Amino acid sequence: MHNAQPRILIYSHDTFGLGHLRRCRAIAHAMVGAMSRLSIIILSGSPIIGSFDFRARVDFVRVPGVIKLHNGAYTSRSLSLDIDHLLELRGSIIKHTADVFDPDIFLVDKEPLGLRGEVEPTLKMLRDRGTRLVMGLRDVMDDPASLAEEWDRKNAVQALEELYDDIWVYGKEAIHDPLEGITVSPAVREKLLYTGYLERQVPTREASPGENPFGSDPFILVTPGGGGDGRELVDWVLRAYEAQERPLFPAIIVLGPFMPVDEQRRFMARAEALRLVHVLEFTPTIEHLMAQAMAVVGMGGYNTFCEILSFDKPTLLVPRVKPRREQAIRAGKAAEAGLLTCLPIDAYPDVDVMVDALAELPDNPPPSEAGVGDLLSGLDQINARAEAILAQRELARAPIPLTAASG
């Protein structure tokens, strides 16, 4: 099979939260912006993928969603199917999409073999066709010991050795090596490309009416990302405003679509009594608020980190430490580099600690003053590498010119 127009298929590992989908969407949008004939499909199990706008030539195929239980097991998000049947269904949709779409590049996010190995048959099918197989890793995966155990169990290193042509790390080597503590061959190390972080911009469509209730007054934006594990952060911030111990700037808190509904209601009721706090359940264009905010409070997820770098905001991170230490590692490294300040979740719910941190936050320096250069090169680097791969494939497919017969 031969594509007249270049095509890229992206697999978004998204059993929880917004991070994987938003990262894949940012990459897809940058790629089609740079390459006028390119078409991209994102494979995703996110239940809210339809809430986001997609650029022309980017579309998505939604596979049935799963959720991860506290014991680490997976279950169906909405169907009455056992997990093995559900994974068989997801794997079939993924493989059939790849078969028909026939991509030039298959970019897999975070999980080398996909959820419970669901992408492995697709990877092998596409490898046999000559598709370029690319692994995309965020800057921090987990603490080395936990990641080594997890990847050994999932045969992830073997996949990097045998299946993938390229490994793109969406970060800077000077800040963190995501394969720290993982034993890989020099051949795998040679596949690594540190792209830099993914720059974010304000979407072109207008902000939703009433998103910023404070008008032109300065405010602090509080975002726990998807919100599924943001209860302590939001509660801690609300306690600080309820205490009224020191003057604080107004705050807009975006709870996130995965925060349990009963928790959302309790937080919104508490905010109703506070003149300086406004709560939103969710906005798919948080970049508008990020750009307007004077400072940001977050948990330290990958997307939030890219946004605070892109919009250059003084930032306070309160990273989670379970089920992964990813956020804590990222926040710690960024704090060491002088990019932001960090509060350990162990200090929760000490009100005085949060009040002081919020009061001092607007006067803290933005990330650009830390003097760490060239952090936001990610999308440019990814585009350049993708263009080179596509050009190479087009050249390989070009017919060999006939030469005049000798004699």
Average pLDDT rounded to a whole number, residues 284-301: 93
The amino acid present at 38, given as its one-letter code, is: L
How many of the other CB atoms lie within 10 Å of CB of 252?
Answer: 22
Looking at residue 204, its pLDDT comes to 72
Q: In the predicted model, is pLDDT for residue 402 greater than 90? A: no
Looking at residue 291, its pLDDT comes to 93
Average pLDDT rounded to a whole number, residues 31-40: 97
Enumerate the β-bridge partners of residue 278: 252
Per-residue HEC secondary structure of 316-340 comes to: EECCCCCCCCHHHHHHHHHHHCCCC
Backbone Cα Rg of the chain = 22
Cβ(225)–Cβ(218) below 8 Å = no
Domains of the chain with CATH codes: 7-199+376-397 (3.40.50.2000), 220-370 (3.40.50.2000)
How many of the other CB atoms lie within 10 Å of CB of 349?
Answer: 11
For the stretch 348-389, pLDDT in tens is 999 999 999 999 999 999 999 999 888 999 999 999 999 999
Interacting residues of 20 by C-beta distance below 8 A, sequence separation 6+: 12, 13, 14, 44, 46, 109, 110
Gap between the Cα atoms of 368 and 308, Å rounded = 10
For the stretch 129-138, pLDDT in tens is 999 999 999 9
The two most distant CA atoms of the chain are separated, in Å, by 96
Handedness of CA 214, 314, 335, 197 (dihedral sign): positive
For the stretch 47-99, pLDDT in tens is 888 888 999 999 999 999 887 766 667 788 888 888 899 999 999 999 999 99
Q: Could you tell me which of 303, 306, 244, 230 has the C-alpha nearest to residue 273?
A: 244
Phi first, then psi, for residue 213 (nearest 5°) are -75, -10
